[in-house]
Structure 1
Amino acid sequence: MRLIMYSKPGCHLCEGLQDKLEQVEEIDFELEVRDITTRDDWFAAFQYEIPVLFRVRDENLEVEEPLPRPSPRCSVLQLEQMLQKYLGNNGSQ
């Protein structure tokens, strides 16, 4: 399973979410962090929304599906439970 997080340098909320995602142990996923300042379309879409988290639903077509935004105050365990809910069996290997 691959997750994509849209972020930008200096975003403390983004850094916090990335740090928590890197601590998740019970779900096997690859995290790709995309800097919205590198593409105009990403910046226009997400400049007021970051961090934004997507799962890649179809690797061949790279279909991205948005995930609910976790609270900045959530714990690593709460984040892991949210991911299990939305990733289902596809997230565990």
Structure 2
Amino acid sequence: MQLVLYSKPGCHLCEGLQEKLEQISAIDLEIRDITTRDDWFQAYQYEIPVLFLVKEAQTSSLLALPRPSPRATVRQLEQMLQKYGQADP
């Protein structure tokens, strides 16, 4: 399962989510720093952390996932990802 996390340096919510996601062995996590591209910054500056599931790697088709609670456990994140990873496109 491939995920994209939009983040920025100093974002504690982003860092916490990234730390939990990195504990899940079944995912390939790409971190995108919104400060490196103006279009990402404009889109997500007030929304980060923003998490997407890569539905089709060849076409870069992304599915926006709901933002998990900062209190969510690693197990709860795994359950959420399983739910969305098995959904039809």
Which TM-score bucket, shorter chain as reference?
Answer: over 0.9
TM-score (norm 1): 0.89
**Partner Cα separation in structure 2 for residue 24 and residue 56 of structure 1:** 16
Question: Alignment identity in percent?
Answer: 67
The RMSD of aligned alpha carbons is 1.2
1:2 deviates by 1.1
Higher RCO (CA-CA < 8 Å; seq separation 6+): 1
**Partner Cα separation in structure 2 for residue 84 and residue 13 of structure 1:** 22
**Partner Cα separation in structure 2 for residue 4 and residue 23 of structure 1:** 15
Aligned to 1:19: 19
Runs of 4 or more above 2 Å deviation: none
1:79 deviates by 0.9
For the pair 1:54 / 2:43, whether they are aligned, the reply is: no
Could you tell me which of 73, 76, 88 is aligned with 1:75? 73
TM-score (norm 2): 0.92
Aligned to 1:44: 42
Give the SS at the match of 1:73.
coil
Q: Deviations over 1:18-52 (max 9, x none)?
A: 00001124xx2210000000000000000000000
Structure 1 runs not aligned, ≥5 long = none
Aligned residues: 87
